Chain A
Amino acid sequence: MRYLPLTEEDRRAMLGVIGVKSVDDLFGDVPAALRLKAPLDLPKGMGEIEIERELAALAAKNMAADSVPSFLGAGAYRHHVPAAVDYLVQRGEFLTSYTPYQPEIAQGTLQALFEFQTQVALITDMEVANASMYDGATAAAEAVMMANRVTRRAKALLAGDLHPQYRAVIETYGRFNGFATTLAPLDAVGAAIDNTISCVVVQNPGFFGDVRDYAALAEACHKAGALLVVAVAEIVSLGLIKPPGAMGADIVVAEGQSLGNALEYGGPYLGLFATREKFMRQMPGRLTGQTVDADGRRGFVLTLSAREQHIRREKATSNICTNSGLCALAFSIHLALLGEVGFTRLAELNHAKAVQLAERLEKLPGVSLMTPSFFNEFTLRLPCPAAPLIDALASRGILAGVPVSRLLPERVNDLLVTATELTTDADITALAAALREALT
């Protein structure tokens, strides 16, 4: 077997040193009744050729989103990942290293994470950021639990245009962690704030695509002693729109997949988590900090670890251990490649494409645009149920958007449509034509 270096001769020699007759004898502590008597009923081992063939055949049964005109978003976005990103994250020194607990021989990972934390703080306009969470949704749930710790309250107010799956994850954690959640339509959130809530969670751009200013909401939260948590599902938006920090957000959580990371059918993704310095010791997850070594040279270490499970155990701020390290590296490299100029242009490009797309689609008969202001994603209300239409268009080779009913069953006629820098004029024409045909 190609991954196993031991030869039969090695095994015999090693058993001799140990002083047992067979490998099976090494399992003597396992009661005989518990041991399997025969190999598992599973396919036999294969070489690379057969595996590539078999998995390629499975992959071929899928419609890759980059092989057809594709307009899906709703928390996962198709962007171009520069070739250098994929090369660098596959360097074995990054790919096959562990969490940097031995800083002397992990400065590469640690410095990259320090740079990542800085980038996240810059684009969100927050003071500090951690070294990543699993995804945007779990980061949102962790933000609520952190707000509960900070305020010593246990009730979160969720705004209506928070991604339904983010809301669902927060509700799941609430049920088991012991905090309450209430949902309010976006325009009723302000009125629902009182001094029993730990935080308000809003999303910007919202699930339906709207971009809004939450500065007044932040003020209302602070007056009530609560925190404002802003979730960002499309991180590229921060190249163009006012960042949550500038609105007065106390915690910013985000899905970072859009930079550096492929769609991968929903994971692994990248949770971003940023906050104010005064709350730093209440943060979940790993943090990288700057220090010096015994010779006085600058170096980086994991720090403030007394918050974490491996030290604090049941009193830890979170149970998270493994996070999304390599996804964070991919994000960081992509953002480093873009730089200020590239990141803002990428965001401009996304918005321009989305405006072009909206201009075409809002003119279709019976179609209305529900989101007057947006970044790269908007909601259309169709004159018919969206889901069957999307299925029909998919069978014709167009991934025309996400029917809102997939996530919110009562919104039957609504369709979420996204454009990115990868959307071509031909894609827009194809979608407009197909929708026109289907609707008339």
Chain B
Amino acid sequence: MSGPSNKDWSKAVSGFVPAAGGGRELQDDEPLLFEAEGAYYDGASARSGVDLPAPLPVSDRLGGLRREGKIGLPGLSEPQIVRHYTRLSQKNYSIDTGIYPLGSCTMKYNPRLNERVARLPGFASLHPLQPPATVQGALALMDRLATWLKTITGMPAIALSPAAGAHGEICGMMCIRAALEARGEKRSRVLVPESAHGTNPATAAACGYAVDPIPGDARGRVDLAALKAKLGPDVAAIMLTNPNTCGLFEDESLAIAEAVHGVGAFFYLDGANLNALLGRVQPGALGIDCMHMNLHKTFSTPHGGGGPGSGPVALAASLAPYAPLPWVVHRDEGFALIEERAGDAAQSLGRIKAFHGQMGMFVRGLAFLMSHGGDGLARLSGDAVLNANYLLASLKDLLTPSFAGGAMHEVLFDDRFLGETGVTTLDFAKALIDEGYHPMTMYFPLIVHGALLVEPTENESKESLDRFIAAMRELAARAAQHDTEFFQSAPHRAPRRRLDEVGAARKPVLRWRPPAKSTAAE
């Protein structure tokens, strides 16, 4: 066997940093798929990571619409692809790596059991348009999940189809608007607290409403008097998060409901922070008409680097007739799907997405609920709130909590503790990366200066919290010593230092393009 000489060998690897060397390979740049050596080999040398049989020769029926020329996709073998994505994955922080304390995101542990059961062929390999008689188990599962969600929320109806939280919001607001139109009313304003998540005003606007902000009070809650002053016959709804994005329970919820209902408007609850209430408070008892839930927050389905989510909506009896299609119903012969606007569903607002909702997430969410059980939900929310308050108690002497008193499932600090140090919330968060932690939610909610919103979830052990607290305290002390440069230059130990976001937005590069002189990819 003859191999290349050493000289040839070094030529062959020019441009590559040798991978040997104690894990150094993980710090190296990973080329784009399109830049991988040999990705654009042609003809018999072209690589593919999938072996497919040769198609039978048939005379095509494409009506002359055959694609011309190359697409320009790179070709690599399976081991090359697996290595590429494995190396990419190692540049990510994740819940599996450590605490992920993003406030109002509820980054809880994603049980692997959920992944296993969602992949049972009897769920994963179902076509959405199979005859209902062949999917009775799937419809039963949807019905069972709806029953859990109805019981947890104390609401009479559930719309399962929304694909994510914001999709649930628009579903709920569409139901509200449909109900108003059915009353012959066209209202124009939706009230949204200044502390709300951006999806709330965006949703109201997408639904054709003007957004009217409501200020908070000194206690971090909705200013009830200001709210009442804004109410009128042209108000369609209020969108409120409870517990709110300051981590506080809106304790005047019933008074808010009474005032809102008093002018004929609806009360929309953003359920992003439902985790704090599980098994302890039924949102239905708060006087609401509608709320969405995030299965990918509260019920542990994975965030997957930005989705998919699932945003079922709980509806009061007054809104239930407008729920989007399809509806799962139980009849003598078994479960059925109502897919047309007729009969009981004559007033449905119609479809908001293709097919029936995020089935893969329903299986995962139900497995999570079955794991905790009706008897275990209060323990779950109790631990989530306990962990948050433990953080608060352990940090409040060095950091500055924005509001007095205890917290629910998340704790809001502002940047007063950074004072005149020159260290910003952003700098502080980036320094936390060097300590091995994902930062908390920053600069949100907008109602306090330099917000740091911390949500530990129920899945952190006391040991994990103690380590996190120690890191936070050390950083706070360091900031107090005006070690500004340390913060401003962080992070140093992450796969990348701070990235030039201004440059990215001024001259957007949103895709790879073949080098100008390359002929291979054109």
Residue among B135, B358, B392 with max Cβ neighbours from chain A (10 Å): B358
Q: Which residues of chain A have C-beta atoms less than 8 A from B17's C-beta? A: none
Verify A55–B359 contact, CB threshold 8 A: no
A217 within 8 A of B: no
Q: Which residues of chain A have C-beta atoms less than 8 A from B8's C-beta? A: none
Verify B137–A62 contact, CB threshold 8 A: yes
A199 within 8 A of B: no
Q: Which residues of chain B have C-beta atoms less than 8 A from A35's C-beta? A: 280-281
Do A108 and B91 form a contact, CB below 8 Å, given A52-B117, A61-B137, A326-B302?
yes
Verify B49–A82 contact, CB threshold 8 A: yes
A180 within 8 A of B: no
Verify A337–B66 contact, CB threshold 8 A: no
Report the separation of the CA atoms of residues A325 and B206 in the bound assembly, to the nearest whole angstrom: 23
Verify B56–A27 contact, CB threshold 8 A: no
Binds B, one of A124-132, A188-196, A222-230, A429-437: A124-132
Residue among B71, B170, B207 with max Cβ neighbours from chain A (10 Å): B71
Do A95 and B302 form a contact, CB below 8 Å, given A2-B371, A115-B33?
yes
Do A40 and B279 form a contact, CB below 8 Å, given A6-B386, A243-B67, A355-B61?
yes
* Contact flags B69-103 to A (C-beta < 8 A → 1, else 0): 01111111010011011101111111111001010
Return the contact of A40 from the options B151, B203, B444 (Cβ within 8 A): B151
CB distance from A88 to the nearest CB of B (A): 5
Q: Which residues of chain B have C-beta atoms less than 8 A from A42's C-beta? A: 148, 151-152, 369, 373-375, 377
A36 within 8 A of B: yes
Nearest A residue (CB) for B49:
A337
B248 within 8 A of A: yes
Interface class of chain B by DSSP: loop
Verify A36–B279 contact, CB threshold 8 A: yes
B343 within 8 A of A: no
Nearest B residue (CB) for A57:
B137
Do A106 and B505 form a contact, CB below 8 Å, given A65-B126, A134-B163?
no
Q: Which residues of chain A have C-beta atoms less than 8 A from B195's C-beta? A: none
B346 within 8 A of A: no
Do A301 and B501 form a contact, CB below 8 Å, given A169-B353, A178-B208, A333-B85?
yes
Question: In residues 346-380 of chain A, which contact B (Cβ within 8 Å)?
Answer: 346, 348-349, 351-353, 355-356, 358-359, 372-375
A438 within 8 A of B: no
Do A45 and B491 form a contact, CB below 8 Å, given A29-B251, A355-B60?
no
Nearest A residue (CB) for B116:
A52
Verify A64–B125 contact, CB threshold 8 A: yes
B10 within 8 A of A: no
Q: How large is the interface on B (under 10, 10 to 19, 20 to 34, 35 or more residues)?
A: 35 or more
B433 within 8 A of A: yes
Verify A4–B459 contact, CB threshold 8 A: yes
A151 within 8 A of B: no
Residue among B29, B53, B92, B296 with max Cβ neighbours from chain A (10 Å): B92
CB distance from A58 to the nearest CB of B (A): 4
Nearest B residue (CB) for A319:
B202
Binds A, one of B106-114, B312-320, B478-486: B106-114
* Contact flags A21-63 to B (C-beta < 8 A → 1, else 0): 0011011111100111001111111111001101111111111
A198 within 8 A of B: no
Verify A97–B305 contact, CB threshold 8 A: yes
* Contact flags A162-192 to B (C-beta < 8 A → 1, else 0): 0101101101100111100000000000000
Verify B117–A51 contact, CB threshold 8 A: yes
CB distance from A186 to the nearest CB of B (A): 14
CB distance from B122 to the nearest CB of A (A): 3
Report the separation of the CA atoms of residues A138 and B464 in the bound assembly, to the nearest whole angstrom: 41
Verify B305–A325 contact, CB threshold 8 A: yes
Do A314 and B279 form a contact, CB below 8 Å, given A115-B34, A263-B127, A267-B359?
no
Report the separation of the CA atoms of residues A121 and B352 in the bound assembly, to the nearest whole angstrom: 26
* Contact flags A119-144 to B (C-beta < 8 A → 1, else 0): 10111000111011011111000000
Report the separation of the CA atoms of residues A172 and B159 in the bound assembly, to the nearest whole angstrom: 16
Q: Which residues of chain B have C-beta atoms less than 8 A from A216's C-beta? A: none
Return the contact of A6 from the options B39, B91, B462 (Cβ within 8 A): B462
Verify B378–A61 contact, CB threshold 8 A: no
Residue among B61, B211, B382 with max Cβ neighbours from chain A (10 Å): B61
CB distance from A17 to the nearest CB of B (A): 5
Verify A177–B206 contact, CB threshold 8 A: yes
Return the contact of B198 from the options A291, A313, A325, A326 (Cβ within 8 A): A313
Verify B359–A322 contact, CB threshold 8 A: no
Return the contact of B130 from the options A65, A127, A306 (Cβ within 8 A): A65
Return the contact of A84 from the options B47, B82, B382 (Cβ within 8 A): B82
Residue among A11, A108, A171, A287 with max Cβ neighbours from chain B (10 Å): A108
Q: Which residues of chain B have C-beta atoms less than 8 A from A78's C-beta? A: 125, 127
B165 within 8 A of A: yes
Verify B372–A45 contact, CB threshold 8 A: yes
B233 within 8 A of A: no
Q: Which residues of chain A have C-beta atoms less than 8 A from B88's C-beta? A: 107-109, 111-112
B215 within 8 A of A: no
Question: In residues 125-176 of chain B, which contact A (Cβ within 8 Å)?
Answer: 125-131, 133-138, 140-141, 148, 151-152, 163-167, 169-170, 173-174
CB distance from A242 to the nearest CB of B (A): 5
Q: Which residues of chain B have C-beta atoms less than 8 A from A289's C-beta? A: 504-505, 508-510
Verify A337–B81 contact, CB threshold 8 A: yes
CB distance from B435 to the nearest CB of A (A): 12
A219 within 8 A of B: no
Nearest A residue (CB) for B243:
A29
Verify A104–B499 contact, CB threshold 8 A: yes
Q: Which residues of chain A have C-beta atoms less than 8 A from B48's C-beta? A: 337-339, 341-342, 345
- Sample of 4 further A-B pairs with CB below 8 A, known A42-B375, A326-B307, A329-B304: A5-B459, A105-B93, A117-B511, A265-B356
Leading 3 A-B pairs by shortest Cβ distance: A59-B122, A42-B374, A266-B355
Cross-chain pairs A/B with CB under 8 angstroms, 29 sampled:
A6-B386, A17-B390, A27-B280, A30-B251, A36-B280, A42-B369, A44-B373, A45-B371, A45-B373, A58-B138, A63-B126, A72-B130, A78-B127, A88-B86, A91-B86, A94-B89, A95-B302, A96-B96, A97-B305, A98-B305, A114-B511, A128-B511, A168-B350, A169-B352, A255-B354, A319-B199, A323-B308, A329-B304, A342-B50
